[in-house]
């Protein structure tokens, strides 16, 4: 594991070798030469390579491999039609220049945990599945968790078909180019109804476990979060000849909105980030005609989140009046607060055999989307940098292996009672 700090502590799970091998094999996929981090975007070549890896691991173990109507990949041990299936997994796609762990840790650990159970000789009494949900990060089409949202009926096929990437390629076109059928997408409620429990293991996206000194924790809740597109309409003009007082410069209004977002979020104890921006015409010597900024905002409760976004919109609009810039705001996605089912959460925590931290998170997950239809829980693995959505995201090798053991214990407790 080239970017995992190796410091073996305690007995390694018997799935350790397979974890390390799989990790090594997946590590170069989607890491272009010269790029700062991973670029595993939905329906790209890197995504296809990740998918081929998943299929290979499933078939090498003799699991039944399946791709659902929305392009999510499944590997079954036992017959899912029997129902009450225990499912684990996560996603393999990444944000732009993302880290190695967000997503893949959950999928690699899932295969390794089942290897561990086989090595223990555990007899499964419930079918078990591993899933790779498609397009979790929404890096390409702007909407997160497209695969799980479609499956859960939280995104209509019509709305999904309208999604476009930065080059104007539609989601159906991208799926088609990748060899998938976009006409098939839609709710998959029967499949979800067969799932008795979904447990997603994920790297922690913060430092709570590092501070508490625990390699593994359990999720309590996911903060409500959403994405809003702010369009600032100004007037294109010459950067060298237009007097400052004659300008209608949308970049100025946008800059003020960024500062307002920071201030409003700070005052409310929330989070607000403009992390993506597009400028037209995007010339060094031209005042822009349009600046488009995407706001990601999150808070502990939905009322606070709504209030913060409204305040940012008001501040941007007011400033727009002064700058002669029109501001329009479009909500592109919203995910309500998720409180993980207490019974499963407590059961999972008990199966770990020792007290572990129970943590909320501001990060979105497929587990959060599924939690509306399926009993769902999450395990977090310590991340000493606390950094995520960046190549600085890291988990030590012994913590990854502790995660494999924890997931194996949980799957064993659920599927081999
Ligand atoms: C996904 O990781 C998100 O929280 O946006
Ligand atoms: Mn992520
Ligand atoms: Mn993730």
pTM attached to this predicted model: 0.93
Q: Are 330 and 350 contained in the same domain? A: no
CB-ligand 1 contact for 144 (6 Å cutoff): yes
Instruction: Return d(Cα 254, Cα 248) in angstroms, integer.
Output: 12
Give residue 8's pLDDT.
32
Pocket test for ligand 1, best of 37, 137, 206, 296 (most atoms within 8 A of CB): 137
State the chain's mean pLDDT as an integer.
96
Average pLDDT on 340-363 reads: 96
Q: Are 25 and 164 contained in the same domain? A: yes
Q: Are 327 and 354 contained in the same domain? A: no
Average pLDDT on 264-277 reads: 98
Give residue 376's pLDDT.
98
Of the residues 300, 335, 370, the one at which a domain ends: 335
Q: Are 365 and 243 contained in the same domain? A: no
CA 330 to centroid of ligand 3, rounded, Å = 25
CB-ligand 1 contact for 155 (6 Å cutoff): no
Give residue 11's pLDDT.
66
CA 147 to centroid of ligand 1, rounded, Å = 14
Ligand with an atom nearest the CA of residue 393: 2
Q: How many domains does the chain have?
A: 2
Helix, strand, or coil here: 379? strand
Pocket test for ligand 1, best of 37, 40, 91, 144 (most atoms within 8 A of CB): 144
**In this model, does residue 181 exceed pLDDT 50?**
yes
CB-ligand 1 contact for 366 (6 Å cutoff): no
**In this model, does residue 2 exceed pLDDT 80?**
no
Nearest-CA residue for atom 5 of ligand 1: 364
Q: Are 44 and 183 contained in the same domain? A: yes
Question: 333: closest CA among 373, 303, 364?
Answer: 364
Residues 6 or more apart in contact with residue 95 via CB below 8 angstroms:
102, 137, 139, 389
Q: Are 93 and 206 contained in the same domain? A: yes
Pocket test for ligand 1, best of 140, 145, 365, 367 (most atoms within 8 A of CB): 365
Instruction: Return d(Cα 28, Cα 24) in angstroms, integer.
Output: 8
CB-ligand 1 contact for 393 (6 Å cutoff): no
CA 325 to centroid of ligand 3, rounded, Å = 37
Q: Are 195 and 260 contained in the same domain? A: no
Question: 327: closest CA among 194, 212, 231, 185?
Answer: 231
Q: Torsion angle, CA of 4/10/15/19, rounded to 10 degrees?
A: 0
Please identify, by atom number, the ligand 1 atom nearest to the C-alpha of residue 296: 5
Q: Which residue has the tokens 């000849």?
A: 241
Asked if 276 contacts 261 with a C-beta cutoff of 8 angstroms, the reply is no
Looking at residue 89, which CATH number applies to its domain?
A: 3.40.630.10
Domain span holding position 251: 226-335
Q: Which percentage of the chain shows pLDDT scores above 90?
A: 96
């Amino acid at each position: 594991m080239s970017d995992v700090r190796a410091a073996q502590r305690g007995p390694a799970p018997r799935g350790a070798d397979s974890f390390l091998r799989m990790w090594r094999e997946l590590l170069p996929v989607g890491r272009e030469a010269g790029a700062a981090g991973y670029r595993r975007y939905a329906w790209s070549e890197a995504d296809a390579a990740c998918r081929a890896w998943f299929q290979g691991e499933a078939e090498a173990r003799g699991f039944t491999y399946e791709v659902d109507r929305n392009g999510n990949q499944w590997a079954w041990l036992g017959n899912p039609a029997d129902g009450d299936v225990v499912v684990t997994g996560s996603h393999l796609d990444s944000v732009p220049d993302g880290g190695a762990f967000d997503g893949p840790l959950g999928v690699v650990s899932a295969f390794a945990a089942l290897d561990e159970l086989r090595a223990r000789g555990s007899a499964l009494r419930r079918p078990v599945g591993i899933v790779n949900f498609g397009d979790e990060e929404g890096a390409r089409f702007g909407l997160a968790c497209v695969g799980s949202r479609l499956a859960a009926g939280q995104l209509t096929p019509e709305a999904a078909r309208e999604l476009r990437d930065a080059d104007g390629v539609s989601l159906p076109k991208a799926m088609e180019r990748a060899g998938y059928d976009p006409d098939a997408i839609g709710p998959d409620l029967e499949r979800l109804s067969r799932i008795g429990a979904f447990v997603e293991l994920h790297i922690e996206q913060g430092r709570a476990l590092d501070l508490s000194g625990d390699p593994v924790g359990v999720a309590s809740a996911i903060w409500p979060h959403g994405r809003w597109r702010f369009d600032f309409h100004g007037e294109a003009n010459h950067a060298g000849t237009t007097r400052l007082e004659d300008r209608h410069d949308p970049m100025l209004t946008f800059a003020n909105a960024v500062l307002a977002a920071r201030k409003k979020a700070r005052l409310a104890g929330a989070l607000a980030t403009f992390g993506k921006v597009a400028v037209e015409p995007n010339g060094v010597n031209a005042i822009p005609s349009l600046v488009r900024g995407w706001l990601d905002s999150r808070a502990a409760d939905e009322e606070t989140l709504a209030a913060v976004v409204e305040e940012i919109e008001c501040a941007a609009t007011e400033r727009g009046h002064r700058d002669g810039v029109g501001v329009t705001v479009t909500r592109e996605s919203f995910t309500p607060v998720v409180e993980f089912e207490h019974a499963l959460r407590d059961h999972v925590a008990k199966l770990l055999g020792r007290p572990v931290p129970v943590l909320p998170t501001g990060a979105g997950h497929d587990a959060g989307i599924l939690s509306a239809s399926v009993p769902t829980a999450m395990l977090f693995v310590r991340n000493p940098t606390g950094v995520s959505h960046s190549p600085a995201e890291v988990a030590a090798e012994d913590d990854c292996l502790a995660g494999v053991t924890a997931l194996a214990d949980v799957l064993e407790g659920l599927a081999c009672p």
